[in-house]
Structure 1
């Protein structure tokens, strides 16, 4: 036998834990020649000493949150190549772990809330910025630098304590690759005397830099954080970068440098609350996905976001900004008011853009190549026309009302509405190409005006709209092209429509207004106050 999987299927009592421990202890004494051991939910709090006798063991995986410490005898398993502790509660590794000179993969515990890159756990998440790391990240002991064959190290927790590993030891790990999370909970200068450890890691393709929320309050501390970011500059082979809670007052030069020709995914979240400028990310030649969230110091985004080079008609150095970007997300930028500086030719392959929870944003550049757009919780955007958008998902609130009433959507084919207002008015004139209309999760919505005029429509989907009243549909829309779910009022009247008298257009509009006044009046009586028709959004 070379491989052994052990798992206890049911929860065991304290009494039977002793039995389980005894069985494992006896088993490990007999199976001295196994190469791979996988322990899952074994429901014991410590490992039997006999495990240290399996000298030929190359792979050890422990998946049990009852295990909170790793005994020193594990450091005598000199042939061990993979040590997987990701699903345990171990916070400190054995002090002699540096003896495992053949170790190639060290997977230390990470909190379940931690987001890894897309190739691991979907890095480019539209809403990743609520992430917070607890302080129980496992610390590494001194001696990690001896593991010169190490290729995988899931994270490194920078510490002030002398009994924990200095980050300078990473300089010895020249084979280190894959993904690493570096957590900086301290502003102390613990690595000023060592050379930058990541700049030589040519096999490292994913880096997550995460600062603690506390401990960087003064200007001196924030300057120290800026120095830390400069010190942690990675090799130019990096493909994925995520920076979280960076407290510095500005980004350093390598963030956005055009020398990072392989960088394809970038996330900046909860960074630089004193910073009022974004780095020149448009210079990254291979960047495909970009998420920027919760940077509340940003009020204006200009040409500097696209390039450090100043635009000049006579300059031959002008370059297209974001030449490879396909997806762009701005989220929770509370003070962001304007975005300009985008020139014709910029963002040539941008397919998707999301603007979410940017309530003050008004000035917005024309995007000539975007096909899919999501708008949620924004201001009255100053965009008169969306030239190329074919798919729009919008949460209709009061803030969007003015923009929706002015914007023209000549190429829009798929519209998804989540309404927070009582009335939405759709116009065939502004939506000449609309094929699919989906209305969902709109408890407040009572009426959708203008449905009958959307003659290009060939699919109508309405879900979770309990108060929505039926309106006349386009004559070109067949019954089988209408899908209704959890919208009882609309569905009931839709089924009864063949029995209703046919009204002329003026009579129909007059009837709609009467129904609306009656409904609002009844609502006002219930609340003990008079209510006028309000909260009307129009695309007319």
Structure 2
């Protein structure tokens, strides 16, 4: 259990102690145990304050403290296990019908005596151990042992695939600016940062341009003395080639200086003297800490003569700290052709590769996924029998296993990044290992899963979703996670991990017995899990199998089940499974089409995340609202599901999400809403609602959803749609359903925007707005200029009607993204002052639109125009803008294509 997991457990205890609006908690069997819950809550809080005074402190602390933390988390896991089993017992006895299977292992009592003895023993050791007390009362020091960079240097011999990167870095280093500048190369381990820096360092023009060149390798440990000596050694070597008087004097000093006996002050002074007045290139290779940079930069004088510092690092935050305004060059993966070129260079040493090697060679490099170090590792294996065609064919099918098994290769290099992760990121990172190869993670869903698993640490005034998002961005900045897709406002929509990073996650997760991954049928006698029953285990599988047939799967400690492929067997035994694994927190059955909503779902009182696919026309039973721990509810269905009116009993529900299965016709997805919420009894903590049709009983949005941040809903536009009181709302997608629209004009108070005859108000907090089928007049577009924070505006499917939109008197101060899709607009008058921040314009399926006005060229921030399925006249206008590009009058990327012919 992590620190965040203990926090989540304490939050549950707090609800058990103080919450009075949840029927389950007010059960007499639970109320009578509140004194035990209170005592446990206090003991956990005391232990946290003692042992986790700074959860983000460096990992390399006193061994005694690490051992005490480990024992504490084991005891906390045991306490949570006992409490959860007790709650399940109470819940099942009260709600499960007699004809359903029972869970024999449910604990009928709440006995926490052994747990408290463990806490007392730990506190006693803390008080008696002077060394532990010292560690807890002083900041931890960095003491990571230095790791060699042999695997990174495997790349240095042959330089392939970085030509453009090389030209960019070299050009920046030798440009004619006097002030000292910092240039950074950032990328994951094995991507070739050191290789590129070496190429630049040894370039002939760079040698000529700089008087002094110094290479310093820092790695994960900072040793001031070692760095000073690394600087002085190459200076001594270069001084041996100089004959002027000053150099001779410095040479004598260096030659006579015994590095072993000299103190740090002498070394520092000598560094300063030898760098002062010279144009220097300092390469700082493999730097890991901001604090290290702050110490290193003191050694390098600003001679105001064009000196440069070149950093290589895996951590974007280090590069940003060193020079926020400088060049930070992210090194990307090699494409297939470059990878194959590198492979052949390494294997055949400049000789032409045989034709038969192309097909298996291409397959080999595809398996390396663009990581240069992986290509080099496999090239070393191929070089042993380079001209054997059968060997190449065999390697094409076994590339991954050779790379992973290389003792000094990829995983060892990547493991440095894992070892450097702070505690609060480790479980989030390991979680990637359970998912299938090449899996694309939808960021929103990933964050919800992290929260449900208990990985996110509470930080007081920040909500858990924002904290989880910062965790993900940290992993991206550490080059462990790849951005796969971005949303319109520039945020990350989807992400991936490199196959080798996933392999590292899986390897570490198995070592920690953090996940159980079933990818093929297993022998019933094969035991995988040997942990105590209280240790949470997560099961990931992409196989259609009956998990009840595998006795190695632990009943007590299985907390998560996630399936990734379509299957059928679980449908038949769903009731048995749910009654067997009553401690589940995460249940993802999106690939299992269930015939009905399973009654046994009610037994999973600890569920925090539920994703389910229901094919029948049955609605949700009211009893689902007894799952009071539920944070996220996701439903797939072809048919509309009516949500129970007592859904507000789900006091912890934060995200309500529904969508159609992927094989549903695309053309209907915008209109069919799987969820229908007729009414709501009391306010909810919901932050996200997606694809929900709101009934007349949900008219007061502020009363029903006071904390809503993202809302995708369908509503009738003849009723009051007052979103303005939702002061947390940032993203809104509104789809109209039309009833008889009243024609009477509606008067609005000054400053309160409305949409013509249809009354809609919006909060100023809104950043993203999508309107679908609202059929508003273009004259009402002026209301959006009041939304001062609006950055993304999408108008779909006749959101506005009319042949002409003139923006002359309208200003969208912060709008960065504008999409017009399936509108009947013909003429569009643009004033460049109306869009001072617009960077991307998209026009899709607007077949009547005659042109993109040339005035758009005058928008200084516009970088991209995307056109899809256009008429002839519109195409000609885009070509005129392209001509302006060619003449150098603007720099706008044009992306234009005809995908489908749409009939109106």
Partner Cα distance (2:622, 2:781) in 1: 43
Structure 2 residue 626 is the aligned partner of structure 1 residue 99: no
Partner of 2:578: 28
Structure 2 residue 699 is the aligned partner of structure 1 residue 174: no
Partner Cα distance (1:240, 1:103) in 2: 23
| Contact 1:226–1:251 (8 Å) recurs in 2 | no
Partner of 2:345: none
- Deviation string 1:228-256 (CA, Å, 9 cap, x unpaired) is 88643322222211122221234536643
* Partner SS for 2:841: strand
| Contact 1:148–1:174 (8 Å) recurs in 2 | yes
Partner Cα distance (1:413, 1:274) in 2: 28
Q: 1:236 to 1:330 in 2, by over 3 A?
A: same
- Deviation string 1:374-393 (CA, Å, 9 cap, x unpaired) is xxx53578959934x15xxx
Partner of 2:767: 239
Matches within 5 A, 1:389-408: 389=885
Structure 2 residue 862 is the aligned partner of structure 1 residue 350: yes
Partner of 1:76: 626
2:795 to 256, 268, 275: 268
Partner of 2:875: 378
Partner of 1:157: 693
Shift of residue 341, structure 1, vs aligned partner:
9.3
Partner Cα distance (2:755, 2:881) in 1: 44
Matches within 5 A, 1:96-245: 96-110=646-660, 133-143=670-680, 146-159=682-695, 165-177=697-709, 179-184=710-715, 186-189=716-719, 191=720, 197-212=722-737, 215=739, 220=743, 227=755, 231-245=759-773
Shift of residue 61, structure 1, vs aligned partner:
2.1
Partner Cα distance (1:135, 1:356) in 2: 24
Partner Cα distance (2:879, 2:607) in 1: 65
| Contact 2:584–2:606 (8 Å) recurs in 1 | yes
Partner Cα distance (2:776, 2:638) in 1: 33
* Partner SS for 1:220: coil
Partner of 2:834: 321
- Deviation string 1:456-476 (CA, Å, 9 cap, x unpaired) is xxxxxxxxxxxxxxxxxxxxx
| Contact 1:198–1:233 (8 Å) recurs in 2 | yes
- Higher Cα Rg: structure 1 or 2? 2
Shift of residue 347, structure 1, vs aligned partner:
0.8
RMSD of equivalent CA atoms: 4.5
* Partner SS for 1:171: helix
Partner of 2:817: 289
* Partner SS for 1:146: coil
Shift of residue 76, structure 1, vs aligned partner:
1.5
| Contact 1:5–1:38 (8 Å) recurs in 2 | yes
Partner Cα distance (2:788, 2:843) in 1: 23
TM-score with structure 1 setting the length: 0.51
Partner Cα distance (2:682, 2:607) in 1: 20
1:5 to 561, 565, 568: 561
* Partner SS for 1:328: strand
| Contact 1:332–1:356 (8 Å) recurs in 2 | yes
* Partner SS for 2:625: helix
Q: 1:412 to 1:253 in 2, by over 3 A?
A: closer
Shift of residue 301, structure 1, vs aligned partner:
1.6
Shift of residue 84, structure 1, vs aligned partner:
1.8
| Contact 2:842–2:867 (8 Å) recurs in 1 | yes
Shift of residue 33, structure 1, vs aligned partner:
3.2
Greater mean deviation of Cα atoms: 106-115 or 46-55: 106-115
Partner Cα distance (2:896, 2:856) in 1: 30
Matches within 5 A, 1:412-431: none
Partner Cα distance (1:223, 1:103) in 2: 36
| Contact 2:731–2:768 (8 Å) recurs in 1 | yes
Partner Cα distance (1:414, 1:49) in 2: 55
Partner Cα distance (1:236, 1:415) in 2: 32
Shift of residue 139, structure 1, vs aligned partner:
0.7
| Contact 1:358–1:379 (8 Å) recurs in 2 | no
Q: 1:278 to 1:68 in 2, by over 3 A?
A: farther
* Partner SS for 1:252: helix
Partner of 1:426: none
| Contact 1:298–1:335 (8 Å) recurs in 2 | yes
Shift of residue 359, structure 1, vs aligned partner:
4.0
Greater mean deviation of Cα atoms: 283-292 or 131-140: 131-140
| Contact 1:187–1:221 (8 Å) recurs in 2 | no
Partner of 2:463: none
| Contact 2:778–2:800 (8 Å) recurs in 1 | yes
Matches within 5 A, 1:301-312: 301=829, 303=831
Shift of residue 140, structure 1, vs aligned partner:
0.6
Q: 1:168 to 1:280 in 2, by over 3 A?
A: farther
* Partner SS for 2:641: coil
Partner Cα distance (1:413, 1:172) in 2: 45
Q: Which has the higher strand share?
A: 1
Q: 1:180 to 1:251 in 2, by over 3 A?
A: farther
* Partner SS for 1:51: helix
Matches within 5 A, 1:479-490: none
Q: 1:6 to 1:246 in 2, by over 3 A?
A: closer
| Contact 1:181–1:209 (8 Å) recurs in 2 | yes
